[in-house]
Protein backbone atom coordinates (compact mmCIF):
# COMPACT_ATOMS: atom_id res chain seq x y z
CA UNK A 1 0.00 0.00 0.00
CA UNK A 2 1.47 3.32 -1.09
CA UNK A 3 -0.01 5.25 1.82
CA UNK A 4 1.98 3.11 4.25
CA UNK A 5 5.20 3.47 2.24
CA UNK A 6 4.75 7.25 2.37
CA UNK A 7 3.96 7.20 6.09
CA UNK A 8 7.18 5.29 6.76
CA UNK A 9 9.19 7.67 4.55
CA UNK A 10 7.53 10.70 6.23
CA UNK A 11 8.81 9.41 9.57
CA UNK A 12 12.25 8.77 8.10
CA UNK A 13 12.04 5.04 8.71
CA UNK A 14 13.70 2.58 6.38
CA UNK A 15 11.73 -0.42 5.28
CA UNK A 16 11.74 -3.31 2.92
CA UNK A 17 8.61 -3.67 0.85
CA UNK A 18 7.52 -7.20 -0.04
CA UNK A 19 4.80 -7.26 -2.70
CA UNK A 20 2.43 -10.18 -2.25
CA UNK A 21 0.06 -11.69 -4.78
CA UNK A 22 -3.58 -12.06 -3.76
CA UNK A 23 -3.23 -15.76 -2.99
CA UNK A 24 0.10 -15.34 -1.17
CA UNK A 25 -1.38 -13.40 1.71
CA UNK A 26 -3.10 -16.11 3.78
CA UNK A 27 -0.19 -18.46 3.05
CA UNK A 28 2.60 -16.10 4.14
CA UNK A 29 0.89 -15.23 7.41
CA UNK A 30 -0.31 -18.75 8.17
CA UNK A 31 -3.94 -17.72 7.64
CA UNK A 32 -3.76 -15.03 10.33
CA UNK A 33 -4.17 -12.12 7.93
CA UNK A 34 -6.17 -12.01 4.75
CA UNK A 35 -5.46 -8.43 3.66
CA UNK A 36 -2.47 -6.18 3.21
CA UNK A 37 -0.78 -4.01 4.33
CA UNK A 38 0.90 -5.84 7.17
CA UNK A 39 3.84 -4.21 8.94
CA UNK A 40 6.36 -6.53 10.52
CA UNK A 41 8.64 -4.86 13.05
CA UNK A 42 10.86 -6.81 15.42
CA UNK A 43 8.45 -9.47 16.70
CA UNK A 44 5.29 -7.50 16.06
CA UNK A 45 2.89 -7.81 13.16
CA UNK A 46 0.44 -4.98 12.55
CA UNK A 47 -2.31 -5.28 9.99
CA UNK A 48 -4.50 -2.52 8.46
CA UNK A 49 -3.09 0.80 7.35
CA UNK A 50 -4.66 2.94 10.11
CA UNK A 51 -3.39 0.55 12.78
CA UNK A 52 0.07 0.83 11.22
CA UNK A 53 -0.12 4.62 11.20
CA UNK A 54 -1.25 4.67 14.85
CA UNK A 55 1.56 2.32 15.77
CA UNK A 56 4.16 4.45 14.00
CA UNK A 57 3.04 7.64 15.72
CA UNK A 58 3.08 5.98 19.13
CA UNK A 59 6.36 4.14 18.66
CA UNK A 60 8.39 7.00 17.15
CA UNK A 61 7.31 10.21 18.89
CA UNK A 62 10.74 11.75 18.26
CA UNK A 63 10.44 11.44 14.49
CA UNK A 64 8.47 13.80 12.21
CA UNK A 65 4.81 13.50 13.19
CA UNK A 66 2.29 12.32 10.64
CA UNK A 67 -0.38 14.45 12.33
CA UNK A 68 -0.17 17.82 14.05
CA UNK A 69 -2.59 16.51 16.69
CA UNK A 70 -5.87 14.68 17.27
CA UNK A 71 -7.80 17.39 15.38
CA UNK A 72 -5.96 16.87 12.11
CA UNK A 73 -6.00 13.10 12.68
CA UNK A 74 -9.82 13.10 12.97
CA UNK A 75 -10.20 15.17 9.82
CA UNK A 76 -7.88 12.94 7.77
CA UNK A 77 -9.90 9.90 8.82
CA UNK A 78 -13.05 11.68 7.68
CA UNK A 79 -11.39 12.48 4.34
CA UNK A 80 -10.40 8.80 4.01
CA UNK A 81 -14.02 7.81 4.57
CA UNK A 82 -15.17 10.19 1.83
CA UNK A 83 -12.44 9.79 -0.72
CA UNK A 84 -11.44 6.15 -0.51
CA UNK A 85 -14.89 4.59 -0.51
CA UNK A 86 -16.13 6.73 -3.38
CA UNK A 87 -13.03 6.54 -5.54
CA UNK A 88 -12.34 2.83 -5.06
CA UNK A 89 -15.88 2.14 -6.22
CA UNK A 90 -15.56 4.47 -9.21
CA UNK A 91 -12.10 3.22 -10.18
CA UNK A 92 -13.23 -0.39 -9.83
CA UNK A 93 -15.98 0.32 -12.36
CA UNK A 94 -13.28 1.16 -14.89
CA UNK A 95 -10.35 -1.02 -13.87
CA UNK A 96 -11.71 -4.26 -12.42
CA UNK A 97 -10.59 -6.18 -15.50
CA UNK A 98 -7.26 -4.33 -15.72
CA UNK A 99 -6.47 -5.35 -12.14
CA UNK A 100 -7.27 -8.95 -13.04
CA UNK A 101 -5.07 -8.85 -16.12
CA UNK A 102 -2.18 -7.22 -14.27
CA UNK A 103 -2.24 -9.86 -11.51
CA UNK A 104 0.02 -12.89 -11.64
CA UNK A 105 -1.45 -15.76 -13.65
CA UNK A 106 -1.90 -17.86 -10.50
CA UNK A 107 -3.89 -15.10 -8.77
CA UNK A 108 -6.38 -14.33 -11.51
CA UNK A 109 -8.97 -17.02 -10.85
CA UNK A 110 -9.06 -16.14 -7.14
CA UNK A 111 -9.39 -12.42 -7.89
CA UNK A 112 -12.15 -12.97 -10.45
CA UNK A 113 -14.23 -15.28 -8.28
CA UNK A 114 -13.90 -13.38 -5.04
CA UNK A 115 -14.66 -9.97 -6.59
CA UNK A 116 -17.51 -11.17 -8.76
CA UNK A 117 -19.14 -12.77 -5.77
CA UNK A 118 -18.39 -10.11 -3.18
CA UNK A 119 -18.82 -6.86 -5.11
CA UNK A 120 -20.49 -7.58 -8.44
CA UNK A 121 -23.47 -9.74 -7.46
CA UNK A 122 -22.16 -12.48 -9.70
CA UNK A 123 -21.71 -10.34 -12.82
CA UNK A 124 -18.43 -10.83 -14.64
CA UNK A 125 -15.54 -8.37 -14.51
CA UNK A 126 -16.04 -7.91 -18.26
CA UNK A 127 -19.66 -6.84 -17.85
CA UNK A 128 -18.71 -4.58 -14.96
CA UNK A 129 -16.23 -2.53 -17.02
CA UNK A 130 -18.26 -2.58 -20.25
CA UNK A 131 -18.75 0.94 -21.60
CA UNK A 132 -16.24 2.31 -19.14
CA UNK A 133 -15.27 5.27 -21.35
CA UNK A 134 -18.77 6.63 -20.73
CA UNK A 135 -18.05 6.75 -17.00
CA UNK A 136 -14.90 8.87 -17.33
CA UNK A 137 -16.78 12.21 -17.01
CA UNK A 138 -18.37 11.19 -13.69
CA UNK A 139 -15.04 9.94 -12.39
CA UNK A 140 -13.32 13.21 -13.30
CA UNK A 141 -16.17 15.22 -11.81
CA UNK A 142 -15.79 13.30 -8.53
CA UNK A 143 -12.27 14.73 -8.23
CA UNK A 144 -13.53 18.34 -8.13
CA UNK A 145 -13.00 18.70 -4.36
CA UNK A 146 -9.32 17.76 -4.78
CA UNK A 147 -8.85 20.39 -7.50
CA UNK A 148 -10.57 23.00 -5.35
CA UNK A 149 -8.27 22.16 -2.46
CA UNK A 150 -5.19 22.28 -4.72
CA UNK A 151 -6.20 25.75 -5.92
CA UNK A 152 -5.46 26.94 -2.38
CA UNK A 153 -2.11 25.24 -1.73
CA UNK A 154 0.44 22.83 -3.20
CA UNK A 155 -0.77 19.82 -1.20
CA UNK A 156 -4.09 18.49 0.07
CA UNK A 157 -2.61 19.06 3.52
CA UNK A 158 -1.94 22.73 2.70
CA UNK A 159 1.63 24.02 2.52
CA UNK A 160 3.06 20.65 3.49
CA UNK A 161 2.06 17.14 2.41
CA UNK A 162 0.08 15.20 4.98
CA UNK A 163 -1.45 11.76 5.25
CA UNK A 164 -4.44 12.85 3.11
CA UNK A 165 -1.96 13.41 0.26
CA UNK A 166 -0.56 9.93 0.77
CA UNK A 167 -4.05 8.36 0.82
CA UNK A 168 -5.16 10.04 -2.40
CA UNK A 169 -1.83 9.59 -4.15
CA UNK A 170 -1.85 5.92 -3.21
CA UNK A 171 -5.10 5.34 -5.06
CA UNK A 172 -3.73 6.99 -8.20
CA UNK A 173 -0.60 4.83 -7.95
CA UNK A 174 -2.78 1.76 -7.77
CA UNK A 175 -4.57 2.88 -10.97
CA UNK A 176 -1.25 3.76 -12.60
CA UNK A 177 0.05 0.27 -11.93
CA UNK A 178 -2.74 -1.46 -13.87
CA UNK A 179 -4.71 0.85 -16.16
CA UNK A 180 -5.13 0.41 -19.91
CA UNK A 181 -7.27 3.57 -20.15
CA UNK A 182 -5.91 6.80 -18.65
CA UNK A 183 -8.50 8.19 -16.22
CA UNK A 184 -7.56 11.86 -16.45
CA UNK A 185 -7.80 14.54 -19.14
CA UNK A 186 -4.52 16.07 -20.20
CA UNK A 187 -5.79 19.56 -19.31
CA UNK A 188 -6.13 18.51 -15.66
CA UNK A 189 -3.10 20.57 -14.68
CA UNK A 190 -3.70 20.97 -10.95
CA UNK A 191 -3.98 17.22 -10.44
CA UNK A 192 -1.05 16.62 -12.78
CA UNK A 193 1.34 18.94 -10.96
CA UNK A 194 0.20 17.67 -7.55
CA UNK A 195 0.78 14.02 -8.60
CA UNK A 196 4.28 15.02 -9.75
CA UNK A 197 4.93 16.86 -6.51
CA UNK A 198 3.94 13.89 -4.34
CA UNK A 199 5.81 11.39 -6.53
CA UNK A 200 8.98 13.47 -6.05
CA UNK A 201 8.81 13.48 -2.26
CA UNK A 202 11.32 11.37 -0.28
CA UNK A 203 13.82 11.07 -3.11
CA UNK A 204 11.21 10.22 -5.69
CA UNK A 205 9.51 7.47 -3.70
CA UNK A 206 6.50 7.46 -6.03
CA UNK A 207 8.48 7.31 -9.25
CA UNK A 208 8.36 3.95 -10.98
CA UNK A 209 9.07 3.50 -14.68
CA UNK A 210 6.59 0.62 -14.87
CA UNK A 211 3.66 2.91 -14.14
CA UNK A 212 1.17 3.49 -16.95
CA UNK A 213 0.09 7.02 -17.89
CA UNK A 214 -2.72 8.57 -15.83
CA UNK A 215 -3.31 11.32 -18.40
CA UNK A 216 -4.75 11.04 -21.87
CA UNK A 217 -2.91 12.00 -25.02
CA UNK B 1 -25.88 30.54 8.17
CA UNK B 2 -25.66 28.16 11.10
CA UNK B 3 -21.98 27.46 10.62
CA UNK B 4 -21.20 31.13 11.23
CA UNK B 5 -23.43 31.32 14.29
CA UNK B 6 -21.57 28.33 15.72
CA UNK B 7 -18.17 29.82 14.84
CA UNK B 8 -19.07 33.01 16.70
CA UNK B 9 -20.34 31.04 19.71
CA UNK B 10 -17.22 28.83 19.65
CA UNK B 11 -15.12 31.99 20.01
CA UNK B 12 -17.40 33.29 22.76
CA UNK B 13 -18.47 36.30 20.74
CA UNK B 14 -21.93 37.76 21.09
CA UNK B 15 -23.81 38.62 17.96
CA UNK B 16 -27.17 39.67 16.68
CA UNK B 17 -28.50 37.53 13.86
CA UNK B 18 -30.64 39.29 11.24
CA UNK B 19 -32.43 36.84 8.96
CA UNK B 20 -32.86 38.21 5.45
CA UNK B 21 -35.26 37.06 2.75
CA UNK B 22 -33.79 36.20 -0.65
CA UNK B 23 -34.83 39.53 -2.16
CA UNK B 24 -33.74 41.59 0.86
CA UNK B 25 -30.06 40.85 0.40
CA UNK B 26 -29.12 43.15 -2.52
CA UNK B 27 -31.38 45.84 -1.08
CA UNK B 28 -29.97 45.85 2.44
CA UNK B 29 -26.38 46.02 1.24
CA UNK B 30 -27.03 48.52 -1.56
CA UNK B 31 -26.28 45.88 -4.20
CA UNK B 32 -22.77 45.22 -2.85
CA UNK B 33 -23.50 41.69 -1.68
CA UNK B 34 -25.82 39.18 -3.25
CA UNK B 35 -25.33 36.27 -0.85
CA UNK B 36 -25.31 35.68 2.88
CA UNK B 37 -23.73 35.33 5.37
CA UNK B 38 -22.39 38.84 5.82
CA UNK B 39 -20.70 39.75 9.09
CA UNK B 40 -20.86 43.39 10.09
CA UNK B 41 -18.38 44.34 12.79
CA UNK B 42 -17.61 47.96 13.67
CA UNK B 43 -17.18 49.54 10.24
CA UNK B 44 -16.24 46.33 8.43
CA UNK B 45 -18.43 44.10 6.31
CA UNK B 46 -17.22 40.58 5.57
CA UNK B 47 -19.04 38.33 3.14
CA UNK B 48 -18.71 34.54 2.63
CA UNK B 49 -18.49 32.12 5.51
CA UNK B 50 -14.82 31.15 5.07
CA UNK B 51 -13.80 34.81 4.90
CA UNK B 52 -15.73 35.39 8.12
CA UNK B 53 -14.03 32.44 9.79
CA UNK B 54 -10.58 33.66 8.66
CA UNK B 55 -11.39 37.12 9.93
CA UNK B 56 -12.52 35.81 13.33
CA UNK B 57 -9.37 33.73 13.80
CA UNK B 58 -7.12 36.68 12.91
CA UNK B 59 -9.03 39.29 14.89
CA UNK B 60 -9.49 37.30 18.10
CA UNK B 61 -6.32 35.24 18.65
CA UNK B 62 -6.89 35.31 22.41
CA UNK B 63 -10.24 33.58 22.18
CA UNK B 64 -10.81 29.82 21.70
CA UNK B 65 -9.34 28.89 18.32
CA UNK B 66 -11.58 27.41 15.66
CA UNK B 67 -8.63 25.45 14.28
CA UNK B 68 -5.67 23.85 16.03
CA UNK B 69 -3.45 25.03 13.15
CA UNK B 70 -3.10 25.24 9.37
CA UNK B 71 -3.17 21.43 9.08
CA UNK B 72 -6.62 21.06 10.60
CA UNK B 73 -7.80 24.15 8.69
CA UNK B 74 -6.78 22.59 5.36
CA UNK B 75 -8.54 19.33 6.18
CA UNK B 76 -11.77 21.05 7.21
CA UNK B 77 -11.82 22.96 3.92
CA UNK B 78 -11.38 19.67 2.10
CA UNK B 79 -14.27 18.17 4.08
CA UNK B 80 -16.39 21.21 3.18
CA UNK B 81 -15.62 20.63 -0.50
CA UNK B 82 -16.71 17.00 -0.21
CA UNK B 83 -19.67 17.27 2.09
CA UNK B 84 -21.30 20.55 1.19
CA UNK B 85 -21.32 20.21 -2.60
CA UNK B 86 -22.61 16.65 -2.50
CA UNK B 87 -25.21 17.12 0.21
CA UNK B 88 -26.58 20.45 -1.01
CA UNK B 89 -27.18 18.83 -4.39
CA UNK B 90 -28.82 15.78 -2.83
CA UNK B 91 -30.92 17.78 -0.37
CA UNK B 92 -31.99 20.17 -3.12
CA UNK B 93 -33.33 17.19 -5.07
CA UNK B 94 -35.71 16.52 -2.19
CA UNK B 95 -36.38 19.95 -0.74
CA UNK B 96 -36.27 22.51 -3.57
CA UNK B 97 -40.03 22.95 -3.39
CA UNK B 98 -40.10 22.92 0.42
CA UNK B 99 -37.57 25.78 0.47
CA UNK B 100 -39.80 27.70 -1.94
CA UNK B 101 -42.88 27.11 0.16
CA UNK B 102 -41.12 28.05 3.39
CA UNK B 103 -39.87 31.36 1.95
CA UNK B 104 -41.77 34.60 2.44
CA UNK B 105 -44.51 35.13 -0.15
CA UNK B 106 -42.60 38.03 -1.72
CA UNK B 107 -39.45 35.90 -2.19
CA UNK B 108 -41.02 32.90 -3.86
CA UNK B 109 -41.11 34.11 -7.45
CA UNK B 110 -37.46 35.18 -7.27
CA UNK B 111 -36.41 31.87 -5.71
CA UNK B 112 -38.33 29.83 -8.26
CA UNK B 113 -37.04 31.69 -11.31
CA UNK B 114 -33.42 31.98 -10.24
CA UNK B 115 -33.12 28.32 -9.16
CA UNK B 116 -34.97 26.89 -12.14
CA UNK B 117 -32.74 28.84 -14.48
CA UNK B 118 -29.42 28.41 -12.66
CA UNK B 119 -29.61 24.84 -11.36
CA UNK B 120 -32.50 23.03 -13.01
CA UNK B 121 -32.00 23.80 -16.71
CA UNK B 122 -35.43 25.39 -16.80
CA UNK B 123 -37.28 22.44 -15.23
CA UNK B 124 -39.75 23.37 -12.52
CA UNK B 125 -39.16 22.87 -8.81
CA UNK B 126 -42.13 20.50 -8.85
CA UNK B 127 -40.56 18.27 -11.51
CA UNK B 128 -37.22 18.40 -9.70
CA UNK B 129 -38.61 16.95 -6.47
CA UNK B 130 -41.03 14.54 -8.10
CA UNK B 131 -40.57 11.00 -6.77
CA UNK B 132 -38.31 12.28 -4.01
CA UNK B 133 -39.14 9.39 -1.64
CA UNK B 134 -37.28 7.12 -4.06
CA UNK B 135 -34.11 9.15 -3.54
CA UNK B 136 -34.09 8.80 0.25
CA UNK B 137 -31.96 5.61 0.24
CA UNK B 138 -29.18 7.29 -1.81
CA UNK B 139 -29.26 10.34 0.43
CA UNK B 140 -28.97 8.19 3.55
CA UNK B 141 -26.20 6.14 1.97
CA UNK B 142 -24.25 9.34 1.23
CA UNK B 143 -24.07 9.97 4.98
CA UNK B 144 -22.13 6.74 5.63
CA UNK B 145 -18.78 8.56 6.11
CA UNK B 146 -20.30 10.69 8.87
CA UNK B 147 -21.61 7.60 10.67
CA UNK B 148 -18.22 5.92 10.34
CA UNK B 149 -16.53 8.97 11.82
CA UNK B 150 -19.07 9.15 14.66
CA UNK B 151 -18.38 5.51 15.52
CA UNK B 152 -14.90 6.66 16.59
CA UNK B 153 -15.77 9.74 18.65
CA UNK B 154 -18.63 11.97 19.78
CA UNK B 155 -17.98 14.67 17.16
CA UNK B 156 -16.79 14.81 13.56
CA UNK B 157 -13.82 16.71 14.97
CA UNK B 158 -13.04 13.85 17.38
CA UNK B 159 -13.35 14.37 21.13
CA UNK B 160 -14.29 18.03 20.68
CA UNK B 161 -16.58 19.71 18.17
CA UNK B 162 -14.80 21.54 15.38
CA UNK B 163 -15.80 23.57 12.36
CA UNK B 164 -16.58 20.39 10.39
CA UNK B 165 -19.31 19.67 12.94
CA UNK B 166 -20.69 23.18 12.46
CA UNK B 167 -20.65 22.83 8.65
CA UNK B 168 -22.48 19.50 8.65
CA UNK B 169 -24.89 20.47 11.41
CA UNK B 170 -25.69 23.69 9.56
CA UNK B 171 -26.91 21.77 6.53
CA UNK B 172 -29.19 19.62 8.67
CA UNK B 173 -30.56 22.74 10.35
CA UNK B 174 -31.34 24.18 6.93
CA UNK B 175 -33.26 21.00 6.06
CA UNK B 176 -34.98 21.01 9.47
CA UNK B 177 -36.20 24.54 8.88
CA UNK B 178 -38.10 23.67 5.68
CA UNK B 179 -38.69 19.94 5.20
CA UNK B 180 -42.07 18.26 4.79
CA UNK B 181 -40.45 14.81 4.47
CA UNK B 182 -37.97 13.71 7.15
CA UNK B 183 -34.71 12.70 5.46
CA UNK B 184 -33.47 10.23 8.08
CA UNK B 185 -34.58 6.82 9.28
CA UNK B 186 -35.48 6.60 12.95
CA UNK B 187 -32.89 3.85 13.49
CA UNK B 188 -30.10 6.24 12.52
CA UNK B 189 -28.96 6.53 16.12
CA UNK B 190 -25.39 7.76 15.62
CA UNK B 191 -26.56 10.71 13.52
CA UNK B 192 -29.45 11.34 15.90
CA UNK B 193 -27.32 11.54 19.01
CA UNK B 194 -24.68 13.64 17.25
CA UNK B 195 -27.32 16.14 16.06
CA UNK B 196 -28.59 16.38 19.64
CA UNK B 197 -25.08 16.85 20.95
CA UNK B 198 -24.31 19.70 18.55
CA UNK B 199 -27.70 21.37 19.06
CA UNK B 200 -27.01 21.43 22.82
CA UNK B 201 -23.64 23.20 22.50
CA UNK B 202 -23.38 26.85 23.57
CA UNK B 203 -26.47 26.81 25.74
CA UNK B 204 -28.58 25.03 23.17
CA UNK B 205 -27.72 27.33 20.26
CA UNK B 206 -29.15 24.87 17.73
CA UNK B 207 -32.43 24.30 19.54
CA UNK B 208 -35.41 25.94 17.87
CA UNK B 209 -38.98 24.78 18.45
CA UNK B 210 -39.94 25.76 14.89
CA UNK B 211 -37.68 23.08 13.41
CA UNK B 212 -39.37 20.18 11.64
CA UNK B 213 -38.42 16.58 12.45
CA UNK B 214 -35.36 15.17 10.66
CA UNK B 215 -36.25 11.60 11.61
CA UNK B 216 -39.13 9.48 10.38
CA UNK B 217 -41.84 8.04 12.60
pLDDT tens digits, one per residue of B10-27: 999 999 888 888 888 888
pLDDT category at A34 given cuts 50, 70, 90 is: confident
Residues of A with CB under 8 A from a CB of B: 67-79, 81-83, 85, 144-145, 148-149, 152-153, 156-160, 162, 164
Alpha-carbon dihedral A61, A153, B3, B109, rounded to 10 degrees: -160
Strand B44-47 vs strand A38-41: parallel, antiparallel, or unpaired?
A: unpaired
Residue A27: what pLDDT?
A: 81
A72 vs B contacts (CB less than 8 Å) = 68-69, 71-72, 75
A85 vs B contacts (CB less than 8 Å) = 144-145
Residue B40: what pLDDT?
A: 87
CA distance B216 to B185: 5
pLDDT category at A116 given cuts 50, 70, 90 is: very high
CA distance B120 to A191: 29
- Residues B188, B142: contact at Cβ < 8 Å? no
- Residue B37: is the preceding peptide bond cis (ω within 30°)? yes
- The total of other beta-carbon atoms located within 10 Å of residue B122's CB is 7
Residue A18: what pLDDT?
A: 85
Separation in Å, CA of B36 to nearest CA in chain A:
21
SS3 content of chain B, % helix, strand, coil (to 5): 60, 5, 35
Separation in Å, CA of B52 to nearest CA in chain A:
17
Q: Which residue has the higher pLDDT, A34 or A207?
A: A207
Residue A19: what pLDDT?
A: 83
pTM: 0.94
Residue A21: what pLDDT?
A: 86
pLDDT category at A108 given cuts 50, 70, 90 is: very high
pLDDT tens digits, B96-145: 999 999 999 999 999 999 999 999 999 999 999 999 999 999 999 999 99
Beta carbons of B82 and A164 less than 8 Å apart: no
Q: Which of A51, A70, A77, A78 to mutate to test the interface with B (most CBs of B within 10 A)?
A: A78
- Residues A116, A125: contact at Cβ < 8 Å? yes
Q: What is the ipTM of this complex?
A: 0.93
* Cα–Cα distances in angstroms (integers) from residue A93 to residues A40, A42, A64, A124, A212, in the given order: 33, 39, 37, 12, 18
- Residues B212, B179: contact at Cβ < 8 Å? yes
CA distance A67 to A76: 9
Residue A22: what pLDDT?
A: 86
Amino acid sequence: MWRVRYALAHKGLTFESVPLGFTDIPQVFGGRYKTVPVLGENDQMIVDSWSIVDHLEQTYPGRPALFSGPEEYAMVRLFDAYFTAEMIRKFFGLYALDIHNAARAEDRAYFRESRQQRFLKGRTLEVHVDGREGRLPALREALTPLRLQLSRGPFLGGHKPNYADYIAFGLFQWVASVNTLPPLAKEDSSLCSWLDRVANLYEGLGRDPRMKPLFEG
